[in-house]
């Protein structure tokens, strides 16, 4: 009997998310992409859902109406969730940040991924292995001037993943064990539209913007295919710790 593996990937319209979806399709996964814009992906296994992750109330109901039937498929042998989408539009020093913009950044970068993690775990059959990847950032564990809002949202998501893993361990100790793991993954400095947005800012907004210009000029940006391969490898493997993380350090 052929395996039926399903991946839900956010932010598939470009960058890492698009490459992850493409590589999964090449490995015969069924992929549901969540992004406001549809990508130019080829493959009959791809289904697009044009959802706004910033509208978390509508997202919750849309998951039930547009995605739940795939997740409840009795023939599933594995399910993956790749929380890749992120809003980096709110750049600026902390004392200059717009509160309304912060609320949207938290909705997209933290609240929606947490909603998705909980929804997948509640919706899929307990027998199905679950692999969750939260795409993180060095800005979530270190203080980068001008990236305060983005870093804070990523720090919150990282901790939420750690807490979820601890809760799953407690349930397992009480007899409700399941094969579900969480990986907080830092892809490093990647050639994506997000990097272009940061480089397009001023030094007043992002005081360390020259660092990003130098990384690009010296060829230190990773192609999106590289982190996508690492993500796909994790999703297809077994034996992971309940929670683990990969830090990316520039050499």
CATH number for 41: 3.40.50.720
Please report whether residue 148 resides in a domain: yes
Mean pLDDT of 14-29: 96
Q: How many CB atoms lie within 10 A of CB 75?
A: 9
In a domain, 215, yes or no: no
Statement: residue 112 has pLDDT above 90? yes
Per the prediction, the chain carries an average pLDDT of: 94
Question: Residue 121 pLDDT more than 50?
Answer: yes
Query: Is it the case that residue 1 has pLDDT exceeding 70?
Result: no
> Which of the four pLDDT bands, split at 50, 70 and 90, describes residue 249?
low
Is 153 inside a domain boundary?
Answer: yes
Range of the domain at 29: 5-188+224-246
Q: Give the total number of structural domains in the chain.
A: 1
Q: What's the confidence (pLDDT) of residue 40?
A: 86
Residue 33 confidence (pLDDT):
97
Beta carbons of 134 and 183 less than 8 angstroms apart: yes
Sheet with 46-49, strands from edge to edge, namely 46-49, 30-34, 5-10, 78-83, 130-135, 180-185, 243-246
Q: Per the domain annotation, does 213 fall within a domain? A: no
Helix (H) / strand (E) containing 103: helix 99-106
Q: Is residue 193 part of a domain?
A: no
* Residue 128: pLDDT over 90: yes
86 within domain boundaries = yes
First to last CA, the chain: 45
Is 214 contained in some domain?
A: no
* Predicted pLDDT of residue 250: 55
**DSSP three-state, residue 46:** strand
In a domain, 206, yes or no: no
pLDDT tier for residue 19 given thresholds of 50, 70 and 90: very high
* CA Rg value for the chain: 18
Q: What percent of the chain has pLDDT over 70?
A: 98
What is the pLDDT at residue 2? 55
C-alpha–C-alpha distance, residues 157 and 159, integer Å: 5
192/160: higher pLDDT: 160
**Segment 198-208, tens digit of pLDDT:** 899 999 999 99
**Percentage, residues of the chain above pLDDT 90:** 86
């Amino acid at each position: 009997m052929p395996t039926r593996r399903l991946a839900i990937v956010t932010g598939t319209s470009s960058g890492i998310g698009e490459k992850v979806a493409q590589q999964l399709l090449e490995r015969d996964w069924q992929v549901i992409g969540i992004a406001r814009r549809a990508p130019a992906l080829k493959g009959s296994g791809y289904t697009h859902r044009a959802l706004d992750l910033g509208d978390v109330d509508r997202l919750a109901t849309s998951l039930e109406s547009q995605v739940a039937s795939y997740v409840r498929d009795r023939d599933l042998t594995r399910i993956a969730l790749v929380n890749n989408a992120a809003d980096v539009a709110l750049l600026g020093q902390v004392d200059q940040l717009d509160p309304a913009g912060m609320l949207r950044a938290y909705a997209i970068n933290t609240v929606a991924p947490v909603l998705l993690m909980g929804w997948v775990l509640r919706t899929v059959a307990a027998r199905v292995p679950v692999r969750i990847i939260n795409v993180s950032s060095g800005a979530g564990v270190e203080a980068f001037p001008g990236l305060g809002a983005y870093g804070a949202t990523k720090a919150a998501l990282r901790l939420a993943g750690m807490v979820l893993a601890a809760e799953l361990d407690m349930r397992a100790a009480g007899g409700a064990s399941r094969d579900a793991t969480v990986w907080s993954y830092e892809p490093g400095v990647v050639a994506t539209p997000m990097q272009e947005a940061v480089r397009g800012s001023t030094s007043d907004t992002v005081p360390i913007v020259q660092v990003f210009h130098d990384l690009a000029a010296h060829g230190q940006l990773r192609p999106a295919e590289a982190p996508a391969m690492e993500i796909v490898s994790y999703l297809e493997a077994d034996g992971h710790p309940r929670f683990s993380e990969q830090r990316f350090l520039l050499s």
